[in-house]
Amino acid sequence: MSWVKEDVVSFFQLFCIKVVKTGRVPQHIAFIMDGNRRYAKKHNEKTAAGHSKGFDKLSETLKWCLDLGIPEVTVYAFSIENFKRSEEEVSALMDLARDKFQRLIDEIDQINELGVRMHIAGRLSLLPEDLRKMVSQAMLATRYNNKLRLNIAYAYTGRDEISRAASLIVDGVKNNELLSDDIDDELVSHTLELGEPELLVRTSGEVRLSDFMLWQVSNSVLYFTDVLWPEFTIWNLLAAIIHFQRHAPPIKDEEPISDSKLQFLEKLEDRRWRDLEKLVNC
């Protein structure tokens, strides 16, 4: 299945989307896509089949988000802790990722036409070299798309993301790119790989964050549903957004960032892109 599935809504569903869009729609929604293994067990299938069904559901969900006009989506695809699972399951997940990213590369014209920008967040050094090259190629090929940013948290935990951001800030001070007085919560927020979601959705009945976006969700609306991720429907998504509309905090104006911080962040972003290009070309 393609990364963004076409024609997944009926006329009535499209009407309901338009009704929901008359209210405030989150500009960034995050998903903890939980329940793939339980889905496989429920249907007497292999675990790998459950994960594959989970990807198919992601492709549907991305189309719904495009229809809703949501410009940023973040999904928790693979935790660093998942490496502790059985060798068979980890290997199957790596193979699934290879297959899907290769498909994305093959369909890059369609992805660019839809305006989807890919960003893979996490400790990518933990991934096999060939997979690192593929995800880097996907990011570079979609770098200038601006209709929907898809962040995929892969080989990721929130604590690891925070520790890596802290290390970058320390290096910035050592290299005279930052002053110690520049270090505050604003700088940390901008140094992290992932931005702050307005709404976080977790499926499968679990009510934990599981080390996902720990810094970013301090003001996010949380929505938990019992449905397993492969069985997630547009009605579940619309229910989550209505929940958000009932509980969303007021929109805060962003304060301008200082020149010294901005220069540091621009250098950091430039280094990240250069590292991706080196990885693809080596």
Mind telling me the catalytic residues? 34, 51, 148
Q: What are the backbone angles phi and psi of residue 130, rounded to the nearest 5°?
A: -65, -35
Per the CB < 8 A criterion, the answer to whether 260 and 173 are in contact is no
Query: Is the distance from CB of 161 to CB of 193 less than 8 angstroms?
Result: yes
* 84: amino acid identity, one letter: K
Q: Which of 275, 280, 10, 27 is nearest to 133 (CA)?
A: 280
The token duo for 146 is 């601006």
Chain centroid to Cα 83, Å, comes to: 19
The whole-angstrom separation of Cα 110 and Cα 164 is 34
The torsion angles phi and psi of 119, rounded to 5 degrees, stand at -135, 125
Output helix, strand, coil percentages for the chain, rounded to the nearest 5.
55, 10, 30
**Among residues 222, 227, 238, which one has the least CA distance to residue 204?**
227
Q: How far apart are CA 136 and CA 249, in angstroms?
A: 36
Query: Dihedrals φ, ψ of 244, to 5°?
Result: -60, -45
